[in-house]
Amino acid sequence: MQNSPLNRVRKVRARRGRPHGPSPWAAAQSAKSVGSDSSAGSASSAGPAGAAGAAGPSARSLVARVVGSPWFRADARADLTASLVVFLVALPLCVGVAVASGVPAELGLVTGIVGGLLTGLLPGSSLQVSGPAAGLTVLVYEAVREYGLGALGVLVLIAGLLQMTMGALGIGRWFRAISVAVVHGMLAGIGLVLIAGQLYALADAKAPAGGLEKIGSLPGLVVDTAGSSAALTAVAVGAGTIAVLVLWPRWPRGARALPAPLAAVALATVVVAVLGLPVARVEVQGLLASVQPPGAADFALLADVGVLGTVLAFTLIASAESLFSAAAVDRLHDGPRTEYNKELIAQGAGNAVCGVLGALPMTAVIVRSSANVRAGARTKMSRVLHGAWLLIFAVLFPAALGVIPLAALAGVLVHAGWKLIPLRELGPLWRQHRGEAVVLMVTAVAIVATNMFEGVIIGLLMAVAKAAWETSHVHVRVENAPVSGGGAASAGTAASGEPAAAGPAADGTAAAGTVRVRVLGSANFLRLPKLLDELEKLTHSLPRERGVELDLSGLRHADHACRVALETWAERHAPAASGPAATLKALPSEA
């Protein structure tokens, strides 16, 4: 408690010579008691009129004490400043994600508003900010293209209800058990498809449908762009936007004044407007016109198996991205930790409302969340206020969206897609955990080659197979084995070069001239070929007069396939056989 954020704030105030002051709750209670006493005194002396006259001053005193407390002023200033920073970061991303998803730009703002005003108020994570995310862009685009814009609300609504159910059942914490390699591979695959699709938007061209088609058609896009002056102009605007995104953070004064995405889009918009460049701009429909709740015919699509698969993909990806983001945000601050089940319920409630409004799905977004923390946010009010600023902008300045070039938003999303690819982590991961790197790359390639849902399923199956393979390690140790020249190895020498625990001469459990073979670890069907090969190799290398004792007391587990195979091997090498005699010892019982 000595180093809590509140104590550090109080120490700073003490050094500045300012009093700590009571908390808003203490101030409210104090004012309430004072107000009650004064009201009672007035009522007894002046009757009902006196009580009514005293009620006004006591209420004003309550407000004055709450608003005037130093604690309230400090947090309010910090949260207000942070909310403005997050609003400036979120605005271009909300619009860009909506345009890239193939829906009206206003729907991205609607999702950001719900993420701030609703999800921001609910318990779970105190500083994490939610809204439309680039990670779901590809999946939303495919769903809208396949089932229509009207079905989007149904998909998001059902996904939100599933998230709330999982949170209520306590499943939220189990998302931490998902392989990090699968999540990184999912984001890398999304980033690759997102970049490939937005390269077409950079040139004001229409992108093909699938991931492989987008990549395969890139040479044709280059040829078409080179022969069109309008396309080259749009590419120049998008490339300039990407350059500003990369260079802007290296200018500390500018980065403190404006977030890089807003600065890049604003500069591109000004250049296009001043020079009168012939590039496509965002189409504006109006906030109310864009909100289209799903109808009864849209719910009939739930009978389609493909729609259910898309709902599961929405649920899995949005939940995993939100909870992984929460874990990352928790490492950025010293405040309250995330309650995963409550956060999953909050995300589900936000997505349910977005579904009713026909808007984009939401997740917690690490870019906005980290900006919120770094801007000095202290309570959840910063994310609530950011939603209020988005609402004010959408209501008062909707025409401002119509001047934004599509190529500039495409540049923002190309940059966002590039950041989704973990290139910096891939090298160390390959050197230290090669299996994890393989899972990551297979997941990413599968998403590009098939679709989001199938790619994630393939990645999860790869991770499970890898875990099963790694937990099925089995070691064979040989004691009192023969050495080259016809002699025998000393007790305690293993065939693999590892020291054995004890030899026959030490504990007397094996008869003279008998070789003890100890099998250690966990034996299942995945390791059975290697185990049988080592046993066969051993029996072929022994003289016929020497027997073999197969000691399985060191096995933690042996599945049915291994039990049958080891019993069969022992029977084949029984004393009556022509080869070395074999006996079986301590085969573990099946659970």
pLDDT in tens, 403-417: 889 899 889 888 888
Give yes or no: residues 95 and 243 share one domain: yes
pLDDT the model gives residue 515: 79
pLDDT the model gives residue 442: 93
pLDDT the model gives residue 563: 81
pLDDT the model gives residue 52: 41
Position with higher pLDDT, 321 vs 53: 321
pLDDT tens for 170-226 read: 988 787 677 778 888 888 888 888 888 888 888 888 888 777 888 888 899 899 888
pLDDT the model gives residue 60: 64
Last residue of a domain, one of 380, 398, 420: 420
pLDDT at 505 over 50: no
Instruction: Give the pLDDT mean for 509-514.
Output: 55
pLDDT the model gives residue 57: 52
Give yes or no: residues 90 and 49 share one domain: no
Position with higher pLDDT, 135 vs 238: 238
CA distance 355 to 348: 10
pLDDT the model gives residue 62: 60
Last residue of a domain, one of 378, 403, 420: 420
Give yes or no: residues 63 and 97 share one domain: no
- Confidence grade of residue 587 (pLDDT, cut at 50, 70, 90): low
Give yes or no: residues 129 and 225 share one domain: yes
pLDDT tens for 125-149 read: 888 999 998 778 888 988 998 898 9
Contact residues for 524 (Cβ-Cβ < 8 A; gap 6+)? 468, 472, 557, 558, 559, 561, 562
Specify if 249 maps to a domain: yes
- Confidence grade of residue 423 (pLDDT, cut at 50, 70, 90): confident
Give yes or no: residues 164 and 293 share one domain: yes
Specify if 450 maps to a domain: no
Give yes or no: residues 42 and 147 share one domain: no
Assess contact for 218 and 349: CB atoms under 8 A.
Answer: no
Instruction: Give the pLDDT mean for 226-233.
Output: 90
CA distance 559 to 207: 51
For the chain, the farthest-separated pair of C-alpha atoms sits apart, in whole angstroms, at 118
Specify if 441 maps to a domain: no
What pTM, to 2 d.p., does this model score?
0.66
Max avg pLDDT among 188-202, 380-394, 575-589: 380-394
HEC string of 251-290 equals CHHHHHHCCHHHHHHHHHHHHHHHHCCCCCECCCCCHHHH
Long-range contacts of 11-14 (CB under 8 A, 24+ apart): 13/70, 13/74
Position with higher pLDDT, 453 vs 262: 262
pLDDT at 9 over 70: no
pLDDT the model gives residue 10: 47
pLDDT tens for 56-95 read: 456 666 666 656 655 466 677 788 888 888 898 888 889 8
Position with higher pLDDT, 487 vs 326: 326
Per the rule left: phi > 0, alpha: psi between -120 and 50, beta: everything else, 231 is alpha
Query: Which range is least confidently modeled, 276-280, 324-328, 582-586?
Result: 582-586
pLDDT the model gives residue 134: 79
Range of the domain at 106: 85-420
Specify if 319 maps to a domain: yes
Coil, strand or helix at 487: coil
Max avg pLDDT among 10-14, 41-45, 457-461: 457-461
Specify if 41 maps to a domain: yes
pLDDT tens for 24-53 read: 434 444 444 434 444 444 444 444 444 444
pLDDT the model gives residue 155: 94
pLDDT the model gives residue 156: 95
Specify if 541 maps to a domain: yes
Q: Closest by alpha carbon to 495, among 476, 514, 510, 512? A: 476
Q: H-helix or E-strand containing 518?
A: strand 514-523
Query: Which range is least confidently modeled, 30-39, 114-123, 145-154, 338-347?
Result: 30-39
Q: Which CATH number characterizes residue 533's domain?
A: 3.30.750.24
Specify if 48 maps to a domain: yes
Q: Closest by alpha carbon to 550, among 497, 578, 514, 502? A: 514
Q: Closest by alpha carbon to 562, among 540, 584, 581? A: 584
Specify if 2 maps to a domain: no
Please count the structural domains in the chain: 3
Give the rounded distance of the alpha carbon of 233 from its chain centre.
36
- Confidence grade of residue 480 (pLDDT, cut at 50, 70, 90): low
- Confidence grade of residue 1 (pLDDT, cut at 50, 70, 90): very low
Last residue of a domain, one of 383, 401, 420: 420
Query: Which range is least confidently modeled, 155-169, 172-186, 331-345, 481-495?
Result: 481-495
Please report, as a single letter, which amino acid is at residue 339. Answer: E
Give yes or no: residues 45 and 170 share one domain: no
Query: Which range is least confidently modeled, 71-75, 279-283, 348-352, 514-518?
Result: 71-75
Give yes or no: residues 52 and 89 share one domain: no
pLDDT at 572 over 50: yes
Report the share of the chain in percent with pLDDT over 70. 78
Assess contact for 187 and 367: CB atoms under 8 A.
Answer: no
Q: And the tokens for 397?
A: 């300045």
pLDDT tens for 522-551 read: 877 777 888 888 888 877 777 766 677 778
Q: H-helix or E-strand containing 348?
A: helix 340-356
Give yes or no: residues 512 and 538 share one domain: yes
Give yes or no: residues 64 and 150 share one domain: no
- Number of other residues whose CB lies within 10 A of the CB of residue 455: 26
pLDDT at 343 over 60: yes
Give yes or no: residues 172 and 27 share one domain: no
Instruction: Give the pLDDT mean for 467-491.
Output: 61
pLDDT the model gives residue 66: 52
The mean pLDDT value of the chain amounts to 78
pLDDT tens for 272-314 read: 999 999 888 888 878 888 888 998 888 988 888 888 888 998 9
Give yes or no: residues 203 and 313 share one domain: yes
